[in-house]
């Protein structure tokens, strides 16, 4: 039982910390929270973490297969760039529309928010090498073992950590909405700028071979770095 609790906590901690940097999905969740409310944003996040959990499961049982999917991951890298570009353009359009009430082409689409979150997460390949690296480290350190009980608890921890991390953006979005209720154009301008910067960073990684495809097929250095990071966490927690 203690081993399962440890695996649950590790999955939760890694996922929570990994959800905090600004990214496509947490910024999108924040914008949905501002525009459509907490419930819609939570449904979006549940959909996105469902796709993430599926990817993690694949990384646990099909590591060799994932290593061979470089071309597919490059397609996903480019699709993520296009998605970010559309999100940025939609926000800039809203920001410069006279009444600021235009609809975001993607986030305000007619798709159920749960499905929207799942699809946006499914084409975002950054999580694949992230969890590939961490799972490899945990296996090598003996913190994760190849059995169904640990896999299930690990994935539950990951889903919980992602939801907690996204909740900071979701409820933070509500604070932003209440603070600048009369200046929605500025919100759209700021969020659009975040998406645009992220899009060009994604494009840079795509052409410099630093995207998901490269990271998962050249994962030895990444695994070593994550192992050192895990050792530091364990050292800090024991002091």
What's the mean per-residue pLDDT of the chain? 79
Q: Is 199 a residue whose pLDDT tops 90?
A: no
Question: Across residues 148-160, what is the average pLDDT?
Answer: 91
Output the DSSP codes for the chain: -HHHHHHHHHHHHHHHHHTSS--HHHHHHHHHHHHH-HHHHHHHHHHHHHHHHHHHHHHHH-HHHHHT-HHHHHHHHHHHHHHHHHHHHHHHHHHHSSSS-PPPTTTTSSS-HHHHHHHHHHT-TTHHHHHHHHHHHHHHTTSS-SSHHHHHHHHHHHHHHHHHHHHHHHHHHHHHHHHTTT-HHHHHHHHHHHHHHHHHHHHHHHHTT-SHHHHHHS-HHHHHHHHHHHHHHHHHHH-
Q: Is 183 a residue whose pLDDT tops 80?
A: no
| 162-180 pLDDT per residue, tens | 999 999 999 887 777 666 6
Q: According to the model, what pLDDT value does residue 200 have?
A: 87
Report the percent of the chain where pLDDT is more than 90.
18
Answer yes or no: are the C-beta atoms of 59 and 137 closer than 8 Å: no
Q: According to the model, what pLDDT value does residue 165 have?
A: 92
Q: According to the model, what pLDDT value does residue 191 have?
A: 84
Q: According to the model, what pLDDT value does residue 224 have?
A: 57
Nearest to 27 by CA among 192, 217, 153: 192
Q: Is 186 a residue whose pLDDT tops 90?
A: no
| 95-129 pLDDT per residue, tens | 787 555 556 777 888 889 999 999 999 888 677 77
Q: According to the model, what pLDDT value does residue 123 have?
A: 85
Please give the model's pTM, rounded to 2 decimal places: 0.77
Q: Is 218 a residue whose pLDDT tops 70?
A: no
Question: Across residues 44-51, what is the average pLDDT?
Answer: 94
Q: Is 213 a residue whose pLDDT tops 60?
A: no
Structural domain boundaries enclosing 16: 2-238
pLDDT confidence of 156, banded at 50, 70, 90?
very high
Total domain count, the chain: 1
């Amino acid at each position: 039982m203690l081993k399962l609790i440890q695996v649950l906590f590790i999955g939760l901690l890694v996922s929570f910390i990994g959800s905090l940097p600004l990214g496509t999905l947490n910024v999108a969740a924040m914008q949905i929270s501002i525009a459509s409310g907490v419930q819609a944003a939570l449904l979006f996040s549940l959909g996105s973490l469902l796709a993430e959990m599926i990817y993690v499961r694949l990384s646990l049982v099909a590591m060799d297969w994932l290593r061979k999917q470089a071309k597919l991951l490059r397609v996903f890298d480019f699709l993520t760039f296009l998605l970010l570009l559309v999100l940025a353009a939609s926000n800039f359009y809203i920001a410069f529309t006279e009444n600021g009430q235009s609809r975001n082409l993607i986030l305000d689409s007619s798709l159920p928010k749960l499905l929207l979150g799942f699809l946006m997460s499914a084409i975002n390949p950054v999580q694949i090498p992230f969890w590939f690296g961490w799972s490899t480290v945990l296996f090598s350190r003996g913190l994760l073992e190849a059995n169904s009980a640990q896999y299930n608890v690990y994935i539950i921890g990951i889903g919980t950590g992602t939801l907690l991390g996204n909740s900071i953006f979701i409820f933070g979005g509500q604070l932003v909405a209440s603070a600048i209720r009369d200046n929605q154009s500025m919100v759209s301008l700021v969020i659009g700028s975040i998406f645009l910067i992220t899009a060009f960073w994604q494009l840079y990684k795509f052409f410099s071979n630093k995207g998901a495809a490269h990271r998962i097929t050249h994962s030895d250095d990444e695994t070593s770095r994550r192992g050192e990071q895990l050792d530091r966490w364990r050292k800090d927690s024991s002091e």
